[in-house]
Amino acid sequence: MEDGNEEREKLTLVARKPCFGLPTACPTCLPVYVYLRFAHLPLKLEFNLIHPDSDQIPFVESGNYVAYNNERGGVIWSLKEDGIVDLDSDVRGIPEWVSTKAMVESWLADAVMYELWVGSDGKSAYKIYYSDLPWPIGKILYLKQVRAVKQLLGITSENAERREEEIYRRSTSAYGALSSRLGEESFFFENRPTSLDAVVLGHVLFTLHALPETSLLRSKLLDHTNLVKFAESHKAEYIDANSSASVPESDPSTSASRRGPSQWSSKPKSKPKREKTEEEKKFRRRTKYFLVTQLVAVLVFLSLLGGSNDAEVELEDDDDALNYD
Amino acid sequence: MAVPTESHPHLGQPENPNLSDPSPEPDDLDDFEAEIDEEDNDESEEDDEESEPITPEAQMRVDRVSMESLFKRLSTERVPVRVHDVLIKGNTKTKDFVIEAEVEALLKNATTVQQLLQAAGVANARLQQLDIFDSVNITLDAGPPELPGTANVVVEVSEAKNPLTGDVGIFSKPEARSWSLEGSLKLKNLFGYGDLWDGSVAYGWGQASEVSAGVSVPKFKALATPLTARISLLSQDWLKFSSYKEKALGLSLGLLSIGNHDLSYNLSWRTLTDPSQMASHSVRRQLGHGLLSALKYTFKIDRRNSPLRPTRGYAFLSTTHISGLVPDNRSLRFIRQEFDLRYAVPLGFYHAALNFGISGGFIFPWGRGFLNTPSYLPERFFLGGNSSPVCTLRGPTSILGFKARGLGPAEPRRQERGNSNNESSDASTGMDFIGGDLAATAFADLSFDLPLRVFREAGIHGHAFACTGSLTKLTENAHRELSFQKLRESFRCSAGFGIIVPTKLFRMEVNYCYILKQHEHDQGKTGVQFSFSSPL
């Protein structure tokens, strides 16, 4: 029990499961992990595999102290308020830093959320969040989450294409702005890591490793090589070096997609998709009309047939009655 | 008439090998006449008698004499008869086989008139128990004239006119852990199979609420046991005690219910959440979703003379719960066993009785890495609460004097914000009671009538009791540190006396409890307490 208590006193980050070669594959948990790594704090990483729809995760705990992500603006802010770690003390006053952080936390976060739940086939999301839950529960929670994300992003069947365009447009301009802000530096501001670097690094690593190769967002990111280099070099320095024991072996199914930075390739979906949906809609409409016509024809046939049958039966009965008499 | 000498011990008729004794025993005759009264329109015509043209008074006298001799014969001799046919009338919706399944075997097995009358009484009771008929009449009639010594039995049922009934009461459902106030709507015999559909809403004492719907079929085709199925959505709030809320969406099937044995299957999706965000370490680790697929086997014997105030007899209940029966190793896997033993000894004066009881249980996970995984939090044992151990047969759950979930392993909750520098933060940290894997309780209770007659007539009586209980953790290698000494030290005790007021729905007690031994974080309070229990 003594050992147990000591274990509990250590700073522990509880996050979602690791996969795709990342220490934690959830886009909200990864920036927190990176931030704590930037701060060089001795960190224990634990995983919660059964609560994918919780907004409390990620949380940091140490003994009886807990900083949840759904309180006071997030884990990073809570850690600063409670005096545990603060990397932003110098840059918080710089207006550009604040607006860049706001842009990343709104536009790019929305883009990742869209791409993970709506824009792709859902395999990545399933692997990260639901692979440790029994199948019926995982399936139902996944469908619930897709609906919730659509509601959050304001996507309906009428404006789906418009919203998609808007989200991609914003992410393109965000990437452009980040790329020009970063240039050839190692960090965005003051040549040292801040929470902005942690958030951007988390986003870039997630987009590169966890999203499928057909992802449009991923292909847009690959156009900015300095962002990709920024991500890979910091990953090697802060993440792979420190946590080589905790990052699990990637399973064979993802090893094919995990190539070096010089070999990133992208196969984006593009315009042909939109035309296809037009054709698909026409086809579906035609099928509906066809089925309805068929159904009506069958009903008419049955009613006519039923009527004529009754008439025949009555005639037969009359014949029998006559016979008896 | 040839007299068969077979013996039928279950009939309750006294063994009478010497059947030539013509004098009837008065008890037999009374029972016999009572049975006759039970059946409506009971006509026993044995033989056709030619009627001669005589005066009405003489006719009545002859009839009376023949009836009396018939009764004498029926009560002293075994009059053999064979049931030729069982006719069922009056069922417009109910399928024939449903009624036949309840009564046919019983009636056709009767070989004498006495047995037949008794069987008819039992069959009547069984059909009433199906709860789908307004009234049931069983008539015995003479068989076809070409077959002497036979009888026909006519079962006439009158189906319930209004299939929908409503009910409000205090019950206990197998899924809910405590008793609850419940309102339900019942739909009877919708498809003619004797099926009972019901939907109910229940609010429970342990901050539980449940919405459920179920169906029960007494005998479906060739199956020998009744089938029940129930879907329920249950939500329980344990925030005050253990900082979590539990929601369960479940389907339970009653598979077997024969005699003392009961087997059921339960499939449910459980979710634990913590909206208060104050949970302790162990509870935080268990928040989330889980799939429970479990078989529950219950064996119950209750030979006490009364469930509310037992003064004589014994009871034994054993419940085995095996979860994790799907091949998916991500579902919850554990084995849970609990048992109860109760014994009541009458003392002869003041209607007093001594009640003893002992209950125990354990839960342990199984599957890969089971030695290091914790047991599932809502399925652990929690001691405390305000229900009396005398009536409730629900495993080790109650020790009088302690609050609900008020004893056992406890962990400090999350530290209050802003108190990290405050030295006095210790007082404001609450404790979460996280339950234990091994539980045992025992009690001794002396109940007696109060001297005033008005209390005696109302059933109000007094009692003095002593309870003890222990709750320890076994999982996550805690069993290695468990020694006999530690186990002995983990027992808490309380004693006291009080007054019991039994009402129609539940049993209320007003007790003064004195805590003899408790541990540091336990919530036992010496003083006057109210306690409510239901015998279900």
The one-digit pLDDT tens for each residue of chain B (536 residues) are 334 333 444 344 444 444 444 444 444 444 444 444 444 444 444 444 444 567 888 889 998 988 888 788 777 777 778 888 888 888 888 888 778 877 777 777 878 878 888 888 888 888 887 777 888 888 888 878 888 778 888 888 888 777 788 888 776 554 445 567 778 888 888 777 778 888 888 887 667 788 888 888 877 666 667 888 999 998 988 898 899 999 999 999 998 888 899 999 999 999 999 999 999 999 999 999 999 999 999 999 999 988 888 889 999 999 999 999 888 878 889 999 999 999 999 988 878 899 999 999 999 999 888 888 899 999 999 998 778 888 888 888 888 889 888 889 999 999 876 544 444 444 445 889 999 999 999 999 999 988 888 888 888 899 999 999 999 998 887 777 888 888 888 999 999 999 998 887 778 889 999 999 989 888 888 999 888 777 65
Distance CA A129, CA A15 (A): 11
Q: Is B289 in CB contact (< 8 Å) with chain A?
A: yes
Nearest Cα of chain A lies from the Cα of B125 at a distance, in angstroms, of 45
**pLDDT class of A242 with cuts at 50, 70, 90:** low
The token duo for A45 is 């990483």
> Over chain A, what is the mean pLDDT?
83
- Cα separation values, B527 from A59, A267, B447, B495, B516, Å: 42, 75, 20, 11, 12
Q: Length of chain B in residues, anyone?
A: 536
CB–CB of A65 and B273 under 8 A?
Answer: no
Chain A CB contacts of B247 below 8 Å: none
Closest-CA distance of chain B to residue A14, Å: 9
**Would you place residue A269 in the very low, low, confident or very high pLDDT band (cuts 50, 70, 90)?**
low
Q: How far is CA A261 from CA A233, A235, A264, in A?
A: 10, 12, 5
Residue A317 pLDDT > 60, yes or no?
no
Nearest CB neighbour to B414, from listed A8, A50, A64: A64
Any idea what the Cα angle at residue B332 is, between residues B329 and B338, rounded to 5°?
Answer: 135
Given this model, what pLDDT does residue B289 score?
A: 94
Q: What is the mean pLDDT of residues A35-50?
A: 91
Radius of gyration of chain A (CA): 29
Report the alpha-carbon distance of residue B515 to residue B525 in Å, rounded. Answer: 7
Question: B410 contacts in A (CB within 8 Å)?
Answer: none
Residues of B in contact with A132 (CB under 8 A): 330
Closest by CA to B385, choosing from B361, B405, B409, is B405
Residue B312 near chain A (CB below 8 Å): no
pLDDT band at A16 (very low <50, low <70, confident <90, very high): very high
Look at residue A306 in the predicted model and tell me its pLDDT. Answer: 67
Looking at the complex, does the CB of residue B536 fall below 8 Å from at least one CB of chain A? no
Q: How far off is chain A from B381, nearest CA to CA, in Å?
A: 21
pLDDT reported for residue B503: 80
Q: Tell me if chain A has a CB within 8 Å of the CB of B270.
A: no
Write down the pLDDT at residue B510.
92
What is the pLDDT, as a whole number, of residue B426? 43
Residue numbers in A near B330 (CB within 8 A): 132-134
Q: Is the ipTM of this complex over 0.85?
A: no
Looking at CA atoms only, how far is residue B6 from chain A in angstroms? 59
pTM over 0.90: no
Interface contact B281-A61, CB threshold 8 A:
yes
- Contact yes or no for A14 and B284 at CB 8 A: yes
